[in-house]
Amino acid sequence: MGEFFKAIFGDYTSVELLGYLWFFLIGYIIYGLTEAINRNITLDTPPKWSWKFWFYDNWRRYLGTFLSTYIYFRFYIQISGHPFGDFDAVTIGLVGNGIGAMLKEKIKAFSADRQQLMKEYHADELKKAQRKAKKNKNKK
């Protein structure tokens, strides 16, 4: 089993992999926050931030992000010629998320149907408003 683990992840210990995962996540979060702050509110996106919309709009993209991050991480020493470090992990997190964003933009299989998502979003918002109105009516 140790040989299999080494073939998949390289010459890193479990603790090193967890540490690098932490720094990958920091890179993902930095890139994601940059995108969320600068998002373009149009008819294809909700005016108010919605985690549900964000998840359904981006889950395929993050599959591409994780795959590209893994490939870049696994072959980093062969590509760069120097040992992997924590700063490299943050950088790869940023680059991997950028690749995922590019895949979402350029390849239809990595993007969601935003018009359909917006229909579902508006239906959910309507249901919430109806529940809130009913709750307020019952309070009176």
Q: What is the mean pLDDT of the chain?
A: 84
- Could you tell me which residue, 50 or 99, shows the higher pLDDT? 99
Domain boundaries, position 66: 2-139
Q: Is the pLDDT of residue 81 over 80?
A: yes
Please give the pLDDT value at position 24. Answer: 92
Contact in structure between 98 and 134 (CB atoms under 8 Å): no
Cα separation, 23 vs 89, in Å, equals: 5
Q: How confident is the model at residue 21 (pLDDT cuts 50, 70, 90)?
A: very high
pTM above 0.75, yes or no: no
Q: What is the mean pLDDT of residues 5-27?
A: 89
Q: What is the mean pLDDT of residues 45-60?
A: 82
Please give the pLDDT value at position 140. Answer: 62
The count of structural domains within the chain is 1
Q: Helices 51-74 and 114-139 meet at what angle, rounded to 10?
A: 140
Cα separation, 41 vs 27, in Å, equals: 24
